[in-house]
Amino acid sequence: LRHFGQDPTPQEIMRNRAPGVYAWVARMWNTRANGTAPALISKVDAPLSALLREACETHVVQLRENAAAIGRGLKRYDQVIQGCQYEQVPSSRYRVWCLEELRRAWAQLDEAARETLREHLPEAQAAILWDGSSVQASEYDPERRAPFNRAINVFGKGIPPR
């Protein structure tokens, strides 16, 4: 929300082409808690299990490959996600930070929650959450203030060239 609502380029596109979406982004950014605690999910049902698998096979694997590329000092890398070849993907410190945050959140779960989730996560893609493998630090948000911290150029000197 912060990116699309505050970055001048997508903000202008939304205002001109999709004012309803722009208004929705503003409402989401301004949402406040209503004082009632939401009901927590007590079990992983089939739709949630499918969503977790999809997130691991697409997002988590992309975060893993990006972190490996950053660790090797690559500005771009190739990867395969669900059988689809992606070439010259720009590497990003921000994506390393996203992986760091997922690993932190995983570590904060109690053992019962981790075991329940492991039953629904494809190990080949999700293991980076718990295997302790070394990842070069993103050095982003050391004060842990996101999303209210100072922004960074996530692609080296800004937006990657076309």
In the 8-state DSSP scheme, what is residue 121? S
**How much is the pTM?**
0.73
**Highest mean predicted confidence (pLDDT) among 5-14, 15-24, 103-112:** 103-112
- What would the DSSP string read from start to end of 59-101? IIHHHHHHHHHHHTT-SEEEEEETTEEEEEEEP-HHHHHHHHH
If DSSP states are collapsed to H, E and C, what string results for 2-17? Answer: HHHHHCHHHHHHHHHH
Cβ atoms within 10 Å of 81's Cβ, excluding its own: 15
- What would the DSSP string read from start to end of 144-162? --TTSS----SSTTSSPP-
Predicted confidence at residue 161, as pLDDT, reads 53
Total residues belonging to the chain = 162
Predicted confidence at residue 59, as pLDDT, reads 95
117 — pLDDT class (breaks 50, 70, 90): very high
| 147, pLDDT greater than 80 | no
> What is the Cα–Cα distance from 160 to 77, expressed in whole angstroms?
13
Residue 115: φ, ψ to 5° = -65, -40
- Return the closest-CA partner of residue 152 out of 97, 104, 112, 80: 97
Predicted confidence at residue 72, as pLDDT, reads 96
Please write the tens of the pLDDT for every residue from 53-94.
999 999 999 999 999 999 999 999 999 999 999 999 999 988
Predicted confidence at residue 130, as pLDDT, reads 96
